[in-house]
Amino acid sequence: MLTDALTEPGLADFRAKVRVFLTGNLPDDLRRAASRATSVFIDPAVTLPWQRILNARGWAAPDWPAEFGGPGWSEIERYIFAAECAAAGAPGLAPMGLKMVAPVIMHYGTPEQRAHYLPRILSGEDYWCQGFSEPGAGSDLASLQLRAVPDGDDYVLNGSKIWTTHAHFANRMFALVRTSTEGKPQAGISFLLLDMKAPGITVEPIRTLAGDHEFNQVFFDDVRVPQANRLGGENEGWSVAKHLLTFERGGKYAPGLIGRLERLRGEDGIGPVLRAELDREAIGLAALQALEIKAMRGLGGSPALYASVLKILGTEAAQRIDTLACEIAGPAAWADADGQTPAELAVAVPRYLNDRAASIYAGSNEIQRDLIARLMLG
């Protein structure tokens, strides 16, 4: 299931090199753990060892420019790498550092901030969480209230963040805070990089419908953050956040979904109706793949527009594949009594439940449709 761009001449050697690396370096225990993961946010006990292996090869951050530690690959090579990793069953790395905050540090950071944070993100020494949403600010993010009041060289933070994925693992958070109540809500927001071990931060778990502990509420009680940890200007954090959200929402959904779909298609005993539905999804994913490559190559359309379109198409496809997996698994989706059920089927129900959130996080799909309408219709 390859679009033409992925079979262009000269790419076979690159693909072969990646395959050889994956065969020789992806440990079985990490592959097995990834195959049983019930969320796109895989436990760092699984992702960080893999990130270290990739980093030792210089491949932990395929999308980063070479000057910051990326491998210097073309867009298509980066796409092939993602596809090969997914096909091999490699764990997807946590996006908050590598894919979300890193590009905005590259864009808005001072030379000191870049030199400090980027190598620590690559190596996995820093593990990041995202402090955007608050109990009263989700879709209407600009109404956020966590106050940051200047005091000497610091800001003093009071308030809370919610739905903070992996805050219980993170030693770093990038956060939107209110530094002014003047003017439009968007105009009084700043973007801070903060230490999760700072006195006054408390992380309280929230359990999901599927029973996972994946996200949290984080409380700030007189937390001091150096003003030097602000990314971009004071009250200019909204622009930084919008830049970051294009990286959070956009990107590559198809490689992982194609990997899952192909594993499902490989199952025995699937009737003709379900098989036809799997085939239909395969065609849809090939189209999604072509669109993702077009977006990566910057061929027409704004990055924000692509990001919203891809987020809707990718997450809705994931939810349809979850439904198909449950239908194929039947009773095995509920109870893998002997531990012999193929991983795709054994985790079908937990994945189905977990992926209900996919059309909500990173900005709900209703909000993405609204953004698309605004971007296209003005």
Ligand X SMILES: Cc1cc2nc3c(=O)[nH]c(=O)nc-3n(C[C@H](O)[C@H](O)[C@H](O)COP(=O)(O)OP(=O)(O)OC[C@H]3O[C@@H](n4cnc5c(N)ncnc54)[C@H](O)[C@@H]3O)c2cc1C
Positions marked active-site: 248
Tell me the per-residue interface mask from 130 to 169 with ligand X, x by CB under 6 A, - otherwise: xxxx----xx-----------------------xxx----
By CB under 6 A, which span of 22-30, 45-53, 65-73, 359-367 interacts with ligand X? 359-367
Q: Hey, how many other C-beta atoms are within 10 angstroms of the C-beta on 205?
A: 11
- Torsion over CA: 20, 21, 25, 31 (sign): negative
Minimum distance, C-beta of residue 173 to ligand X, in the bound complex (Å): 9
Q: State how far the Cα of 192 lies from the Cα of 175, in Å rounded to an integer.
A: 5
Residue 132 or 253: the one with the smaller Cβ distance to ligand X is 132
Residue 17 or 356: the one with the smaller Cβ distance to ligand X is 356
Residue 329 or 357: the one with the smaller Cβ distance to ligand X is 357
Q: Does position 361 bind ligand X by CB under 6 A?
A: yes
By CB under 6 A, which span of 191-199, 287-295, 310-318, 358-366 interacts with ligand X? 358-366
Q: Which amino acid is at 149?
A: V
Q: Hey, how many other C-beta atoms are within 10 angstroms of the C-beta on 159?
A: 20
Q: Does position 360 bind ligand X by CB under 6 A?
A: yes
Q: Does position 363 bind ligand X by CB under 6 A?
A: yes
Minimum distance, C-beta of residue 340 to ligand X, in the bound complex (Å): 30
Q: Does position 366 bind ligand X by CB under 6 A?
A: yes
Q: Which helix (H) or strand (E) holds 24?
A: helix 11-25
- From the list 78, 128, 125, 82, the residue with the least C-alpha distance to 102 is 128
Question: Strand locations in the chain, DSSP E?
Answer: 128-131, 147-151, 154-162, 172-178, 189-195, 201-207, 213-226, 230-231
Q: Hey, how many other C-beta atoms are within 10 angstroms of the C-beta on 289?
A: 23
Question: Could you say which residues in the range 212-231 bind ligand X, by CB under 6 A?
Answer: 215
Using CB under 6 A as the binding criterion, the count of chain residues that bind ligand X stands at 19
Minimum distance, C-beta of residue 73 to ligand X, in the bound complex (Å): 28
- From the list 137, 208, 134, 180, the residue with the least C-alpha distance to 367 is 137
Residues 204, 86 contacting (CB under 8 angstroms)? no
Minimum distance, C-beta of residue 99 to ligand X, in the bound complex (Å): 13
Residue 282 or 360: the one with the smaller Cβ distance to ligand X is 360
172-178 and 128-131 strand pairing:
parallel
Q: Does position 367 bind ligand X by CB under 6 A?
A: yes
Residue 16 or 373: the one with the smaller Cβ distance to ligand X is 373
Tell me the per-residue interface mask from 94 to 133 with ligand X, x by CB under 6 A, - otherwise: -----------------------------------xxxxx
The backbone torsions φ and ψ at residue 92, rounded to the nearest 5 degrees and listed phi first, read -70, 135
The backbone torsions φ and ψ at residue 74, rounded to the nearest 5 degrees and listed phi first, read -75, 170
Which residue of this chain has its Cβ atom nearest to ligand X in the complex? 138
Q: State how far the Cα of 120 lies from the Cα of 159, in Å rounded to an integer.
A: 28
By CB under 6 A, which span of 238-246, 258-266, 284-292, 356-364 interacts with ligand X? 356-364
Minimum distance, C-beta of residue 79 to ligand X, in the bound complex (Å): 26
Question: Could you say which residues in the range 55-84 bind ligand X, by CB under 6 A?
Answer: none
Residue 80 or 137: the one with the smaller Cβ distance to ligand X is 137
Q: Which DSSP symbol is given to 378?
A: -
What's the gap between Cα 376 and its chain centre?
Answer: 25
List contacts with ligand X (CB under 6 A): 129-133, 138-139, 163-165, 215, 357, 360-361, 363-364, 366-367, 370
